Structure 1
Amino acid sequence: MYIKKNKILLFILSIILFNLYFPHAVGATFIDTLSPAQRKALQKASDADEDVQELIDYAPDLLDLNYIYDEYLINTYVAEYGPGDANGDYKVDLKDYIIWLKYYKQTNPVQQNENPDFNNDGLVNGIDFIIWSVNYNKNYPTPTSTPTSTQTPTRTPTPTPIPTLSPLPYRPNIVLIVSDDQRYESLEKMPFMGQRLGTGYWNLFTNAYDNVALCCPSRSTILSGLYSHHTGVEDNNKMRLFNENDNLATKLNASGYHTGLIGKYLNKWIDGRTPYTPPGWDTFQAFVVPDYYNYEIYRASGEITKYGVSASDYSTDVVGQKAVDYLKNVKEPFFLYFAPYSTHYPYKPAPRHLNADVGEISFNPSFNEADVSDKPTWVKNLPLRDPLLMEENLTAQYRMGLSLDEWIEKMNTTLLDRNILSRTIIIYLSDNAHSWGEHRHVAKVCEYDSCNHILLLVRYPFRGGREISNLVTNVDLAPTIAEIAGVTLQNSDGKSLLPLLNGTGNLGRTGLLIRWGGYGFGITNFNGIIKPNWKYVELINGEKELYDRNNDPYELNNVAYKPEYAQLIQQLHNELIGLLNQ
C-alpha cells in the first residue's frame, strides 16, 4: 500500500513538473521531421507489408502514421525494453532516472545499453519522465531461452466433412488463378485472356466486387467464403485470425482432391514463425515474402529456395513454370490455387516486356476529380496526382500483366494436351482492383469502383460462355467451388455461382457488402452496399455517400445529402445493417 501511494504521488508530481518546466511536443509533418526511430518504424512496416512501401513512394498522404507508430515503434520498443527501464536491467529505479537526466532535451539519444527515450519519438523530454515515474519500482520478467521453433504450429485437426453429391456428372478439376492488384480494364491489354471475354466457354462477370479491397482480407475471404468481419482478417496484419483448420483447402483435401498452392499465400503468414505448410495443402510452394527478384519460396518438404536478380529469376515466370509442371503431373481430381505476385508493386515487368506496346493509356472522368466538395473528408484532404507518374505506373502494370497472360495460356495448353481441359473449371480473378488517381486516390481499400470492381472470369466447360451482369462478389468463390466439388462449407456468407453458370436461375441477391474496418491506411472505415442501381456508403465518422450507378458510373455526384433521397437512404441503411448481421 505504501508503494502504491508513493507511485500515485510521484505520478501527480511528475505531471505538475512536466507542465511547469518541460516544453510540449510540437506537431510536425511527415516529410521533414521524422525521427530515426519513426523512420525505423516505417521501415519495419514496409518490410512487413509491401502495400506500405507503395504508399511511401506514391501516396504518403494515405499512410496511417499513428497506427504504424503504435504497431511498429512503441510495441516493438516495449518488447525489447520495459517502459521506464533505460538500461535494460528489467527494473525501473533511480538509475534509469539518472540516465534520463543525462540525456534530457537531447534528440535521437539511443546509445548502446541506454535508451531514456521511452516513447521513441526521437526526443528525451518530460513525457519520458512521466513514463519513468508511473513505472517506478516496477520489475520486468527476465527473458528465458528462445524455444525451439517447430516446423508446423500446433493445430486442431479439421474433422473430415461428409461429401455431398456434386451437381456435375463427375468431380471436375478446379484451377483458381488469383492475380494481385489487377485493374478490371487491364483484361483488354492481355492478348490471350483479352480474346476470351464472354466467348467460347469463358464467362465474364461484369459486376464482380470484393468485400474488402486489400490483399490479405480478400484472399482470406476467397479461401473461406466469409466476410472480413467474420474471418477477423480486416487488414494485412490480421492473418493469424484466419482459420487455417477449416476452409476451402481443408474441405477439398479431406474429400479426396489433391490440393496445391503455388505463389502468394496470405500476407505475413510467417510473421516471425518458422515457415510451415498450412493444413489442407498437398503441394505448397509459397513466397516467404513475395517479390519479383531476390525472394524465397518455401516448399512443403521444408526446403527454402532463394532466387536472385537474373532474368530467369523473375517470379511470375518461376511460379508460372511451377504451376505448369504441377498440371502436367498431378492426379485427378485436383484443386490448384495459383497466385503470382503480378501485378502488385513494385512495378517491374518481365525483361522481355520492358518496352512492350500496351496501346493507349487513358483514365476515366474521375481521375484527379476537380470538385470533391461532396466527397468524404478523407478524399477532400487528398492532393491532385501527377498524371505522368500515374500513367507511367499504370503502363508498367499493363506490361506486368503480359507475363501473367502468357502463363495462363500455357496452363490452358497443358490441360488441353493432357485431354483434361474439358473436365477442368478455371476461375480467374484479382484479389482487388487498384486506383491510379481516380478521385485523387492511389492504391486500394477505398469505397469506389477503382478499388473494389474486380475482374472475374470462369471457364465453365459445360455451357457456352457469355457476359453475366448479375452482382457477384469474391465471397461467392468458396461456396461455388465447394458445390462443384461436392463438399459443404459451414456458415458461408456467399452464394454459389452455379445457377448463373448453368443459366438455370439467379442468386436471389439484392445487394453486395463492401467495407473497410482495418488499419494502416488513411482512409476512414466504412460499410457500404452495392445494388444494381445504387451504391450507398456509411463512414464511421457519420459521413455518407450515395451514387446512381446507372447515370453516374464514375461516382462523381454524391447525392446522399439531397432531401429527395432521404427515404431511399433509410431503405439502403436497413439493407446494409441486414448484410452486416447475416
Structure 2
Amino acid sequence: MHKITFRTLLLILCGILPLSIVKAQSLGKKPVKPNIIFILTDDLGYGDLGVFFQNQRKQQATHQLPYQLTPNLDKMAENGARFTHQYSNAPVCAPSRASLLTGVNQGNASVRDNQFDKQIENNHNMATLLKGAGYATAAVGKWGLQGETKVIPNWPAHPLKRGFDNFFGYMRHADGHEHYPFEGLYRGKKEVWENYKDIAGGLSKCYTTDLWTAYAKKWIIEHEHTKGADKPFFMFLAYDAPHAVLELPTQQYPAGGGLNGGLQWTGKSGNMINTASGNIDTYVHPDYANTTWPDTYKRYATANRRIDDAVGDLLKLLQDLKISDNTIVIFTSDNGPSIESYLPAAPYSPQFFGSYGPFDGIKRDVLEGGLRMPTLALWPGRISSGKVIAEPSMLSDWMATFADAAHANLPARSNGVSLLPVLTGKGRQEKSLIYSEYFEGGKTPAFKEFEASRQGRKRGQMQMIRIGDLVGVRYQIKSETDDFEIYDVVKDPKETNNLGLNNNYKVLQEQMKAKVLQLRKADKEAPRPYDKALIPAIALTKQNKLLPGLSWKFFKGSFGSVVSEKKLPESGKGTIKNILPVGRITDKGMTVYEGLIKVAADGEYHFALSATGRAYMRIHEAELIDADFGYQSGSREAGSVYLKAGYHPIKLYYLKENDKGPLISLKSKYGNTDWQELKVSDLYRLSPLK
C-alpha cells in the first residue's frame, strides 16, 4: 500500500490538492502535466471587467456612470487569481501577440510597431515548447502573424508551421474586424481556415465569438475522448472581439453551458453552430437593452458579455469532463481599449465605460491605460481562491510559466520569467523585465479624464520601462538623451506626478536611460532614433576585482536546443581564459560562459560565431547572436552592436553535438578592422565579493 501522510490527506479533504495528482505522486510517476488554455481578447481594456473596475462604477451607479457586468469572469477571479500589474508587451495587437507567443520582449522581438500580418519568426514559441513536452496544440480564432504570400494557403508562418497541430480561425489581421465571416455585414466576406481549408462558405449566421467558442469546445471534447488520458493539451483561444465592428449576436447565449449545454458545434453546413439561426446583428443583452445608452455602447457591452458567457461555458465544460483540477486557464487582453467602432455614423469612445480603468491612455499609448492588462488565472487546487497579485509582470512571462508547469526546459532565448511561484506561493519569484517600445503617428486622445498635459499629445517614438514601483515613459523621442517622465504607479496610477522633474530622481533617470539601451537590439524594419546610441558599460566599484577569463558551468544532458540553465542541476563549474577548451568536456550537455568583454574604444563592434552544435549569446540583456533554432551546424551567425568603452557583460550558451572540432569559434572586429578570435586580454570576470 502506498502511504499518504496526514498533511497530504488534510490537503485533499480541504480541496487544496487534487486526488489525481496525489495518486500519481504516491505511485512514483512523473508529475502530472496540466492542460493549458490561454484566452486572449482583442482591445479589451483593464477597466472593462467587473472585478477590475466596472463593479466600482456599479457601486456609484448614476445616469452619468454606466457600467458593464462580467459575472463569469468575476467568478473566475473569485476562484483563482487576478493580476493587477500585468503588462502587454506592446500597445497594439500584432507585436503584443508575437511577444506573448515567443516569450521575447519588444526590445528583442522580430514583430514590432504596426507590422500586422508580418510572419512570426521561425523560432521557439509556446506551441513548439509545449508540443516538444508532449502536448497536443491548437490555435483557435485570430492569428494575424502568418506573413504575406501569393500562394494561399501556404503562408510562411501558418500556425501549423509554428508548432500547432490544429488551427481554426481568421488568418489575416484585418479579417478580425468583421464578426460575421459569411455575411461580411460591415467589412465584407472573410475566409475562415480549418488548417489549410477555407470553410467560410458553410458559416452563415455564425458570430465569431460563438464560432470560436463552439469549435474550442468541440476540439477539447474530441481530444479528451481520444487522447486525454495520455496527452495534455495547449489551446491558444484568440477572440477578435470586442475590437472593430461592434456587431451583435443572433440570439441569447444558449443555456446550461459545458458538455451538454451552451454553445455546440453541429458540423452542418449553413447551421454550423447552434446559434446560427434567427437574425444576425440583432441581439442586445437584456441587462443593457432597456437602458438609455446610445446603440454603440449597448453593442460594446453585449460583445463583452458574450465573451464572459463563453468563458463560463468553457469552464463548465472542464468541470463536466472532470479535468478542471488539472487545467490552467488564463484570460487576458492584447492591449488597452480602442477608440474605433468601424460602424457607419456610430462613434465610440472608451470614455463611456471608463474602459481604461483608473489610468490614462488607450490602445497605442505606452501609458498604463494602453499596457496594463485585465489578467486572470485559474488552476483549482494550485492557485488560491481570490488571490490578488500585484507583482509586476508581462504577457511574455507566460511562456516561461507554462514551461515551468509542464516540466519543460525554457529556451535560452526567452527573456520572460516563470510566474508559478507567485501563482502557487511556492518558490522564489524572479523579477520580471518590464519594457515596451512602440512608434505611432497619432495622438493620445484629448479625453477630459486624462491629465491635461497629455491630452492630444503626439505619440511618435515611445518607450516604457518599470523598475520597482516606478515607471519611466518617453514620448516623441528624439535621442537616447531625452529624459523620462517618472511615475510611482502604485501610489499614482494615473501618472499625474512626474517625479522625473525632481532632482532626487536624477540617478534613476540615468539608470533608466542606460537600461533601455542595454536590454534591446536594433531592428532595421522598426528603426528608432537611439539604434546607434552607444550602449553604456557597467559601472565598476573599488570593491570589484577583475580577473582574466570567464566563469563557466556545465549542465549534463540531452536538451535538443539551447535552454535556460536556471532550473538545471549543474554538473561542473570553473573558470577559463577563453572558450576553446570546451572540447575537453566529453559528456553530452550544455556549457554556459559568463563574464565581461573589454571594449577599448567607443564604436560599432561586430561579432561572428560558428559552432559544431548550437549556441546563443547575449550582451547585457540583449540578444546578440542566435545560433539555436534551425541553425545549421558549422555555419556562421553574426551580430553588431554599438558599445561605449569599458566592460560589458556577456553570456554564451553552447550546446555540443559531437567531439569533432573546431567545436566553437567566436570572433570580433571593431569598425573596419579584420576579424580576430577573442583574446584572453578581452575577457574578464568579477571576483566574488567576500
TM-score of the two chains, using structure 1 as the length reference? 0.60
Worse-superposed segment, 418-427 or 525-534: 525-534
Alpha-carbon distance in 1 for matches of 2:398, 2:328: 12
Amino acid at match of 1:193: L
Q: 1:419 to 1:395 in 2, by over 3 A?
A: same
The unaligned stretches of length 5 or more in structure 2 are 1-28, 51-68, 185-189, 253-282, 339-349, 444-457, 521-619, 622-690
Residue in 1 that maps onto 2:153: 275
Q: Which has the higher helix share?
A: 1
**Equivalent residue in structure 2 for 1:428, among 293, 315, 331:** 331
Check if 1:170 corresponds to 2:99: no
Q: 1:558 to 1:398 in 2, by over 3 A?
A: farther
Residue in 1 that maps onto 2:406: 485
Residue in 2 that maps onto 1:560: 500
Alpha-carbon distance in 2 for matches of 1:577, 1:254: 34
Q: Does structure 1 retain, via aligned residues, the 8 Å contact 2:34–2:405?
A: yes
**Equivalent residue in structure 1 for 2:179, among 292, 308, 311:** 292
Q: 1:334 to 1:510 in 2, by over 3 A?
A: closer
Q: Does structure 2 retain, via aligned residues, the 8 Å contact 1:532–1:549?
A: no
How many residue pairs are counted as aligned between the two chains?
Answer: 384
The alpha-carbon deviation at position 240 of structure 1 amounts to 3.5
Alignment of 1:380-419 (within 5 A): 396-419=299-322
Amino acid at match of 2:332: L
Amino acid at match of 1:488: N
The unaligned stretches of length 5 or more in structure 1 are 1-166, 361-387
The alpha-carbon deviation at position 349 of structure 1 amounts to 3.3
Q: Which has the higher strand share?
A: 2
**Equivalent residue in structure 2 for 1:476, among 390, 393, 397:** 397
Alpha-carbon distance in 2 for matches of 1:340, 1:185: 18
The alpha-carbon deviation at position 520 of structure 1 amounts to 8.2
The alpha-carbon deviation at position 443 of structure 1 amounts to 5.0
Residue in 2 that maps onto 1:349: 248
Worse-superposed segment, 548-557 or 205-214: 548-557
Q: Does structure 2 retain, via aligned residues, the 8 Å contact 1:328–1:415?
A: no
Q: 1:359 to 1:528 in 2, by over 3 A?
A: same
The alpha-carbon deviation at position 185 of structure 1 amounts to 2.1
Alpha-carbon distance in 2 for matches of 1:269, 1:429: 25
Q: 1:314 to 1:538 in 2, by over 3 A?
A: same
Q: Does structure 1 retain, via aligned residues, the 8 Å contact 2:335–2:373?
A: yes
TM-score of the two chains, using structure 2 as the length reference? 0.51
Q: 1:307 to 1:530 in 2, by over 3 A?
A: farther
Q: Does structure 1 retain, via aligned residues, the 8 Å contact 2:86–2:393?
A: yes
Q: 1:226 to 1:235 in 2, by over 3 A?
A: same
Residue in 2 that maps onto 1:69: none
Q: Does structure 2 retain, via aligned residues, the 8 Å contact 1:471–1:531?
A: no
Q: Does structure 2 retain, via aligned residues, the 8 Å contact 1:528–1:537?
A: yes
State the SS of the aligned residue for 1:229: coil
Alpha-carbon distance in 1 for matches of 2:329, 2:91: 22
Check if 1:533 corresponds to 2:436: no
Q: CA RMSD in A?
A: 3.1
Alpha-carbon distance in 1 for matches of 2:201, 2:153: 14
The alpha-carbon deviation at position 301 of structure 1 amounts to 4.5
The alpha-carbon deviation at position 336 of structure 1 amounts to 0.8
**Equivalent residue in structure 1 for 2:126, among 240, 245, 248:** 248
State the SS of the aligned residue for 1:219: helix
Residue in 1 that maps onto 2:372: 453
Alignment of 1:54-453 (within 5 A): 169-188=31-50, 189-197=69-77, 199-200=78-79, 202-237=80-115, 239-267=117-145, 269-270=147-148, 272-276=150-154, 277=158, 278-279=160-161, 280-288=163-171, 289-290=175-176, 291-293=178-180, 294=184, 295-306=190-201, 312-330=205-223, 331-332=227-228, 333-352=232-251, 354-356=283-285, 396-434=299-337, 436=350, 444-453=363-372
Alpha-carbon distance in 1 for matches of 2:407, 2:440: 34
Q: Does structure 1 retain, via aligned residues, the 8 Å contact 2:106–2:435?
A: no
Check if 1:504 corresponds to 2:426: yes
State the SS of the aligned residue for 1:462: coil
Q: Does structure 2 retain, via aligned residues, the 8 Å contact 1:203–1:459?
A: yes
- Per-residue CA distance 1:76-98 (angstroms, 9 max, x = gap): xxxxxxxxxxxxxxxxxxxxxxx
Alpha-carbon distance in 2 for matches of 1:238, 1:223: 15
Q: 1:440 to 1:218 in 2, by over 3 A?
A: closer
State the SS of the aligned residue for 2:336: coil
Amino acid at match of 1:350: P
The alpha-carbon deviation at position 217 of structure 1 amounts to 0.6
Alpha-carbon distance in 1 for matches of 2:468, 2:295: 34
Q: 1:527 to 1:301 in 2, by over 3 A?
A: closer
Amino acid at match of 1:223: L
Q: 1:415 to 1:261 in 2, by over 3 A?
A: same
Matched-pair identity in %: 25
Higher RCO (C-alpha under 8 Å, 6+ residues apart): 1
Amino acid at match of 1:515: E
